[in-house]
Structure formats: structure tokens, C-alpha cells
Amino acid sequence: MIKQYRFLLIIPLLSFYLFVKAQESQGLSYIREEVMISMRDGARLRTIIYRPAAILEKLPFLLTRTPYGAHQFIEPGKNDYVMPMAKEGYIFVNQDIRGRHKSEGTYQMMRSSHPKGSKEIDESTDAYDTIDWLLKNIKNNNGKVGMYGISYDGWTAIMGAVKPHPALVAVSEQASPADMYMGDDFHHNGAFRLSYGFEYVFSQEAAKTDTTFSFPIYDTYDWYLKLGPLSNINEKYVHHQLPTWNNFIQHPDYDAFWQKQAVSNQLDTSHVQVMNVAGWWDQEDFYGPLKIYETLEKKGAGNKNTIVIGPWNHGQWAYWAGDQLGNIKFGSPTSDKFRTEIQAPWFAYYLKGKGEGRFPKAITYQTGSNTWKTYSEWPVAGVMAKNIYFHGCGKLSFETPQEPANQYVAYVSDPAHPVPYRPRPIEATFQRGSRWSSWLTEDQRFVKDRPDVVSFETDPLDQDIAVSGKILANLYAATSGTDADWIVKLIDVYPEDYKSEPTMGGYELMIASEILRGRYRNSFQKPEAIVPNKVAQYSIDLHQINHVFKKGHKIMVQVQSSWFPLYDRNPQRFVLNIFKATANDYQKATQRIYTSKQYPSSITLPIVKQ
Ligand code: PG9
């Protein structure tokens, strides 16, 4: 008898389980609504609103504005990026920016904002009008709005803080580009980011919804090499149909077009609280958040301006645990920590008045030691700027070189055989499984045997060296050509016999890197030919690090003159506009990196005093 009705016992157990689950998910269940919100010029923007199913209190808004499709944002209760905030309860609002996906109006890549009082629309006025509509039309709001987002969505968030709506109190720009000519997606120091520039622009401007360029071959290194001069992109493939590609051609130098777009020229301090977020190995927009933070500091934002920098690639803090990037392990879930211990309490304080609001000025992850550090100022004060010098025979050391003036290391840079920026095959940037997103952590041994890459390294360190803050490369170099690219990479070399993780033995991990297009050594506005075979000084901003080179590791610097196809090939013959160079303009050049007393190439490291 008992055996026969045994299954009846399951019913109360199951009901209890479902009851517990329902309790757990309270506050996680959201109702979706889609509306078209009219802007001041009549254009209507598709907006998706998620409200908690059971509203118990008046709630603030969390707004994201995106070119990538507001519908991509899954229900907040199922979305890792915002989960801790979804548990708290917010009204989440996601909007297609003007001209993208289901929004009306014309899309313009990173449309700059117009001065206050202008009648023109821009992303700041669109944010303003959206906020105004939400406050008036969505019931049970508490009158406060936060904006946040990553990359383009981070940029639209910070644009919200330009001419802000009074209800906008907190903005977290995360990996927002700040300057597309100086250091973000499209150029670095004037060097054009060919593969990313082309593939991204195609993805956004070939159609109203996201589209990918379909390459006929897998290894795009070959495709870009066979492409020849950049003019072939229009001639053979896109036929002048991509506005941003046409802008690249029309604005090869740092002219008013790029300057006007730079966030630092649009930002002002306001009542808005800003949290900037960056990743040490962000392959797209590392420069941006550092620059926005620095600009707000200079404008006196004071405690309204904070920064978080973690061991992440582009946007890695939003998804995944963040305990590993490429081959590099961190030993703790750094992205989880950001979402639960940093982002959620920060918004909860400014939008809901919860917590004590004690947020450090800077929270930055120290790589190498794998620890989080908090600082009352950033970059940290009290470090000692010390040069580490290149020496003949491939040595790197803190001793100043004593070699005679003409001491150098030479290599031939050939545009027909450019150095790949990551191990081949180089899959298309946005292809599923592409190694694009972790390329900055690739083992640099893959270029070790190339004759056109030169390396300098220290002996194994006899103690830890902690480096925190701004770093700079000071290169003394000459070329037989009339233009040249200079790429400098600062590398942490793991010991060969690496007991804790044998597969990482000898690994060469890039900690900082940057390129400078030589023609811009004196001015980004006015390119100048290089005088062949004459030594010139090149200062290359390697941005910032917070890293410990551990005892037993070596510090290495590599110099090379191409990083293809991420960066287009420098023809090495000076032409006024590289976008209009012909195949005949590309020539081999002999590069010399000086290592002498008179021309002491070095890297300036901000060393933390013991
Ligand atoms: N890095 C991307 C981007 C932002 C802004 C302009 C162009 C590209 C992004 O991930 O959104």
C-alpha cells in the first residue's frame, strides 16, 4: 500500500522546493515593455523598459544607449552584468541610438555634441530627452537616473554627462573611447588600425543592423596583405559607401574633425558622479577611460570622479568570472568582484541612498602580485621615475649606457613581410572564437626569431620590482626611409622553470605596448618626413600600469616597425596621405635603435619605493 502511494510524498516536497525558488527569485522577475520615445526633432527611438514584476518602492532608472540593438539586452534577472543590481530592483532602460536597429533618424558614428544652447541634436540631447520622457511617463520612479555601458555604450553614457539632465546623477562609463585618433579603436598616435577600423566600420555602416564582412579566406593577414594599398578598400569592396571609412581618408591627420570628437574637448564638470572603468589588457579602448578620468581630474571633478582598473580585456568585467584572460590566471573571480562589490553598491548609493558611500578614488588591480589595491589618488604619488636602458648585445638595465654614439641595433622592416600582431592564422576580428579579444596577452615568443623584431632583456631579477603609474618610452632611432612606425612593448618574462605552472615557463607577457607613426613625432596635426639615417628622438606614451615584476622574472623590451594587419603598413616613404599611397610607395627600410651614451634609448618606469 505504502509502496503504491509513495509518489504522493513527492508532491509536498516539490511544492516546498518551488516555493523556496520563487522566494529566491523575488526581485529578479522583470516585465518587458517596448516604446518609441520622441526626441526634440521628432525622431523616435526604440526603447525597451524592464520593470520588476513586484514593485515595492519607487525605483531609479538605469539607462543604456546602444548602437548594437537594444533587444540584445536580455532580461535583467538573467543577465550576469547587471544581476546584482537586478536583485536590488531598478527600472532598466535600453535604447537603440538614432539611426540604428529600430530607431528612427540618421546614424552618425560618434556624433559630437554641440555647445550648450545649440538647437542641434546629438547623443547628449537624445539622452536628455529620453530621461525627461521616462521621468514623466514611467510610474513609480524615484526621480533619479544612472547611465552605464561598455565601449560605444560607455561613450553614450559619458555623453549623457555632457549637458546633463538634472535627474542624471551617476554615470559609469566603461571602456568608453575618448579619442579615436590618439589611442582608441581607430588610430593610436596617428597609426591607423586597419583590421579593426575596417571590420568595425563595415559592421555598423554597411546596414542599419550589425553585419560582418565576409572574408573569402580564414587568415585575414593574407587578405590584408594581398589588398595592397588602402585605396583598394573603396575601389574593390565598399565603393565609398561607408561614411566613416571615407572620413578616415579625408582626415589622415589630427585635424578639427578628430579634435572635435575627442571626449576631453566636450566634457565639463557637472553635478554627475562618474565611475570610469578600464581593463589592463583592453584590446580596444584602454586609452579612453584613463583619458576621461584624467580630463575630469584636470577640470576639478574631485570626489565626483573615480576609477576602477582590472585585469580584463574589453568588457570582461561584465560577463564571465574574470579569473583568467587568455593564458593568464588571476586566482580569483575579478569580474564577479566588480559586479557585486563595486558596481552594484556604487549605483545603490547614488541612486537609492543605500550604504555609506565610501568609495576609494581608485581601485586598481596589481598584476603580477594578483591583488586588488585601493588608492586615494591615481596615478599614485610618491613613485620614483627611473629609466631602464637598452644596451648593445640585447641587455636591458638601470645602468646608463657608456657605449659610443654610433652604437645601435639594426633590422630591416619590409612592408611585404610585416610582423603579425598575433600568432597566425589571424581570424576575422568578430568571428566566433576569434582570438582578437585576448591578443594582448599572447606569448610574445611567437616573434622571437623574426629578424625584424629586436629584444632587450634584464638578467633574472633578484627582488620584486613594483611599477605603478605612467610609463614612457624614449626611443633614439634612425631609418633609411622617410617615414617609419615605432612599436615598443614592455614584457614580463616568466622564469623557464616555473614550478607553480610549468606550462607558463618562459612566457613573455606584454604589460604595456604602443605604436607611434614617425611622421607625427613633432605634431599630430602636421606630419613631417623623417630625414633618412639621422637619429631622432621619439617619445611614446605607454600609458599606465600597476604591475609587479617578480623576483626571478626578467624585464624585456621589444621594438619593431609593423604590427599587421591591426595597423596598416607604413609605406616607409613619406607621402602626404597614406590612405592614398600607391603600391610603389611601399619600400623596405633599415631601422636603427640606438643604445649609446649620447642616444640612450630607455623606458621610464614609475617604481614603487619599497
Ligand atoms: N570598441 C567598440 C567601439 C566603440 C566606439 C566606436 C567604435 C568602436 C565597441 O566595442 O563598442
pLDDT in tens, 539-555: 999 999 999 999 999 99
Span from the CA of 526 to the centroid of ligand 1 (angstroms):
27
Query: Quick check: 47 and 35 in contact, CB under 8 A?
Result: yes
435 alpha carbon – ligand 1 mean position (Å): 17
pLDDT of residue 1 exceeding 50, the answer is: no
Question: Distance from the CA of 416 to the center of ligand 1, in angstroms?
Answer: 30
What fold is seen in the domain 383-608?
Answer: Jelly Rolls (2.60.120)
Relative to the CA of 196, which ligand 1 atom is closest?
A: 8
Give the C-alpha separation, 566 to 192, whole Å.
8
Q: Whose CA is nearest to atom 3 of ligand 1?
A: 152
Q: What is the pLDDT of residues 450-485, one digit of tens each?
A: 999 999 999 999 999 999 999 999 999 999 999 999
Closest CA to 163 of 314, 43, 269, 312: 269
| Beta strands, E only, 367-521 | 371-375, 383-390, 396-397, 408-413, 453-457, 465-479, 485-493, 508-517
CATH 3.40.50.1820 describes domain 30-179+263-375: yes
CA of 68 relative to ligand 1 center, distance in Å: 10
Start and end residues for every CATH 3.40.50.1820 domain found in the chain: 30-179+263-375
Range(s) within the chain of domains with CATH label 2.60.120.260: 383-608
d(CA 274, CA 461): 39
Which atom of ligand 1 is found nearest the CA of 314?
Answer: 10
Q: What is the pLDDT of residues 280-332, one digit of tens each?
A: 999 999 999 999 999 999 999 999 999 999 999 999 999 999 999 999 999 99
Q: Where in the chain is the domain with CATH 1.10.3020.10?
A: 197-259
Confidence band (pLDDT; 50, 70, 90) for 270? Answer: confident
The confidence band for 268, taking pLDDT boundaries of 50, 70 and 90, is: confident
Cis peptide before 379 (omega within 30 of 0): yes
Q: What pLDDT score does 464 carry?
A: 98
Give mean pLDDT, residues 103-130. Answer: 97
* Mean residue pLDDT across the chain: 95
Confidence of residue 27 (pLDDT cuts 50, 70, 90): low
Grid coordinates belonging to 549: 615584476
SS3 384: strand
> How much of the chain exceeds pLDDT 70, in percent?
96
Q: What is the structure's pLDDT at 29? A: 93
With b meaning 16 or more CB within 10 Å and e meaning fewer, what string describes 115-147?
Answer: eeeeeebbbbbbbbbbbbbbbeebeebbebbbb
* Cβ burial, residue 210 (10 Å; 0-12/13-18/19+): middle
What share of the chain has pLDDT > 90, as a percent? 93
Dihedral angle, C-alpha 473, 477, 483, 484, nearest 10 °: -50
**Residue among 174, 184, 198 whose CB has most ligand 1 atoms within 8 A, to mutate:** 184
Whether residue 581 has pLDDT greater than 70: yes
By most ligand atoms within 8 Å of CB, the mutation choice from 150, 151, 248 for ligand 1 is 151
Per-residue model confidence (pLDDT) at position 571: 98
* Cβ-based neighbour number of residue 111 at 10 Å: 19
The number of the ligand 1 atom at minimal distance from the alpha carbon of 285 is 1
Q: Give the single-character DSSP code of 518.
A: G
Residue 444's SS3 state is: helix
Give long-range contacts, CB 8 A cutoff, 24+ apart: 389-393.
389/595, 389/600, 389/601, 389/602, 390/456, 390/557, 390/593, 390/595, 390/600, 390/601, 390/602, 391/456, 391/595, 392/595
Distance 569 CA to ligand 1 centre (A): 22
- Residue 108, pLDDT score: 98
List the CATH code of the domain at 197-259.
1.10.3020.10
Pocket lining for ligand 1, CB < 6 angstroms: 110, 151-152, 155, 177, 185, 200, 284-285
Averaged pLDDT, 67-91: 96
- Residue (of 523, 516, 533) closest to 592 by Cα position: 533
CA dihedral 136, 140, 142, 147 (to 10 degrees): -70
